[in-house]
Amino acid sequence: MKKKPSIQRHETLEQILHRTRETVVADIEKQLGRELDPRKIDVAMDTGDWAALELSEAVDHRILEMRYKTYKEIADAFRRLEAGTYGACERCGEEIPVERLTVEPFARYCVPCLNQIEALEEVEKGDGKSHSF
């Protein structure tokens, strides 16, 4: 059974996501050299239509795409927050510590699960060669 996060945790998670979104929007604005209307970003995001942002030719679309991807992840995280699943490990359902989500807002697994997943992936790669670092 997945437990719903406490109200306090919910608020903390919400703050983390808001901060993350602000950083990304500030980044996009810096890229464009002007301030953006967040509603226009939402429109561009939903329709995939960057024309809504009235981009100039000089804008590097690749960098923008990267920011855009992050922005979509944030929107997705907000949806999961509303559903009460954000910040819970997708594998075991344990709550991911706030300290970790602060630095990694899109973390989907707790550290023990992440280690196990990575170990499994190593096995699955299974090319028989031993890796030296």
Contact between 91 and Zn ion by CB under 5 A: the answer reads yes
Residue environment code for 48-61, b if the CB has 16+ CB neighbours within 10 A, otherwise e:
eebebbeeeeeeee
Among 26, 63, 92, 119, binds Zn ion (CB under 5 A): 92
Q: Closest approach of Cβ 117 to Zn ion, in Å?
A: 9
The Cα–Cα gap between 111 and 13 comes to: 18
Alpha-carbon separation of residue 53 from 36, 41, 42, 129 (angstroms): 8, 7, 10, 49
Which residue lies nearer to Zn ion by CB, 24 or 110? 110
Whether 73 contacts 67, CB under 8 Å = no
Contact between 96 and Zn ion by CB under 5 A: the answer reads no
Contact between 9 and Zn ion by CB under 5 A: the answer reads no
Q: Closest approach of Cβ 3 to Zn ion, in Å?
A: 13
Q: Where are the beta strands (DSSP E) in 3-46?
A: none
Among 28, 44, 89, 101, binds Zn ion (CB under 5 A): 89
User: How many residues in the shown chain lie near Zn ion by CB under 5 A?
Assistant: 6
Residues lying near Zn ion in the complex (CB under 5 A):
89, 91-92, 94, 110, 113
